[in-house]
Chain A
Amino acid sequence: DVKVTQSSRYLVKRTGEKVFLECVQDMDHENMFWYRQDPGLGLRLIYFSYDVKMKEKGDIPEGYSVSREKKERFSLILESASTNQTSMYLCASSPPVRGSEKGAFFGQGTRLTVV
């Protein structure tokens, strides 16, 4: 089974802190994604990566950056955390284009609270 592991289930950080959310997948997937989930808004794509060191902005990249130095690891960085970044963050991975019909596999989520 595919396993996508996020480093923390719950995080509490202070406004202005630099925050790192880590995600690791064990299925050698090319594609990895970061979403945030908010009530009434569903899932919104922040960034995604289709290869090591490659990244593309999603729908809401402002205030975030990402790093993918190794194929299995995709990190989301909040450069200076703000209270409006309090949310549930979900990491996902998927096979390459021909495997898009398989969908994506998700981690358990990190609930981040910025105070």
Chain B
Amino acid sequence: GNSVTQMEGPVTLSEEAFLTINCTYTATRYPSLFWYVQYPGEGLQLLLKATKADDKGSNKGFEATYRKETTSFHLEKGSVQVSDSAVYFCALSGGSNYKLTFGKGTLLTVNP
């Protein structure tokens, strides 16, 4: 079956620090990969996605590259802001399985 493992949190950084949140996956077929973000008290919003190997998804300064050889999709941002404080979820959907499988989420807190 499909599964997603992401870095346990919480992660606490100072403003302008570099962010990496690790995500690895197991899938029976080539999946599409996603990062979702959840701000306090809100639902999930799609942050970025990649649909095939070596694709790079990017949005709002965040990036993630689909690495088939390492089955990974790590989230990075060069300089975080206080407004990036949120929970980040890695997810996949694959082949005929349109369901999303989520990781457990990583809480990021950015301090001024």
Residues of A within 8 A of B (CB): 4, 6, 31, 33, 40-43, 45, 48, 50, 58, 90, 92, 94, 96-97, 99-109
Contact A103 B93 (CB under 8 A): yes
- Of the A-B pairs whose beta carbons lie under 8 Å apart in the complex, a sample of 21, sorted by A's number, is A33-B99, A40-B104, A42-B105, A43-B44, A43-B89, A58-B99, A90-B44, A92-B44, A92-B100, A100-B93, A101-B49, A102-B49, A103-B34, A103-B36, A103-B49, A103-B93, A104-B46, A106-B43, A106-B45, A109-B42, A109-B43
Closest to A4 in B: B43
What residues of chain A lie closer than 8 Å to B36, measured between beta carbons? Answer: 103, 106
Most interface-central of B34, B44, B94, B104 (chain A CB within 10 A)? B44
What residues of chain B lie closer than 8 Å to A97, measured between beta carbons? Answer: 96, 98
What residues of chain A lie closer than 8 Å to B44, measured between beta carbons? Answer: 43, 90, 92, 106
Rounded to whole angstroms, the CA-CA distance of A109 and B99 in the bound complex is: 18
Interface size on B, residues (CB 8 A): 23
Choose one: B34, B43, B89, B103; the contact of A108 (CB below 8 Å).
B43
**Also in contact, A90 and B43, with CB within 8 A (given A48-B99, A103-B91, A103-B93):** yes
**Also in contact, A31 and B104, with CB within 8 A (given A90-B43, A103-B93):** no
Rounded to whole angstroms, the CA-CA distance of A14 and B111 in the bound complex is: 39
Rounded to whole angstroms, the CA-CA distance of A31 and B98 in the bound complex is: 8
Rounded to whole angstroms, the CA-CA distance of A17 and B24 in the bound complex is: 41
What residues of chain A lie closer than 8 Å to B96, measured between beta carbons? Answer: 97
Taking the closest CB of chain A, its distance from the CB of B5, in whole angstroms, is 11
